[in-house]
Amino acid sequence: MKSPRGYTLLEIILVLTLLSLAALMAVPSFVRGRDTLAVRSARADIASAIAIARSAAILNGGSRVTIDADSARVTVHTSAGDTVRNTTGLRALYGVNLQSDRGSPVVLHFDALGIGRVNNVTLRVTRGSQIAQLIISSYGRVRL
């Protein structure tokens, strides 16, 4: 007598059911991980724009950073009015929302020494249940 080769339909259905249950249990952690990466990337993008503004202030005698929380855009201008950096929108890039404790827009001014002349600002970057904070001190230093 020959032994049968292959799998029965019932065995295949059982394996596919178990695989789909395992995939459904993994989906929330993937979504949470994607949201975490998005808020961290957007926060790093804002911090790099502020670092660019400080450098541009030293090179050009001053600069200004405008952070528009409503459209989630960050723009860096020199004291002469030239645009150094203009993000296309953090919401479009990362799907995040931006909130400020000082309202919108937040304008940061840097003098020729690269020192900020602003009040402390706390920015919150959110996506889903994930939140990342960015604190800008009165001298223009950034804490993540």
Please name the residues in contact with 123: beta carbons below 8 A apart, sequence gap of 6 or more.
Answer: 43, 46, 67, 69, 98, 99, 100, 101, 106, 133, 134, 135, 136
Is the pTM value of this prediction over 0.85? no
For 3, 9, 13, 19, 110, the CA distances from 6, given in Å and listed in that order, are: 10, 10, 14, 19, 72
Q: How far apart are CA 43 and CA 67, in angstroms?
A: 12
In the chain, the domains with their CATH numbers are 30-143 (3.55.40.10)
In tens, the pLDDT along 18-63 reads: 999 988 888 888 889 999 999 999 999 999 999 999 999 999 999 9
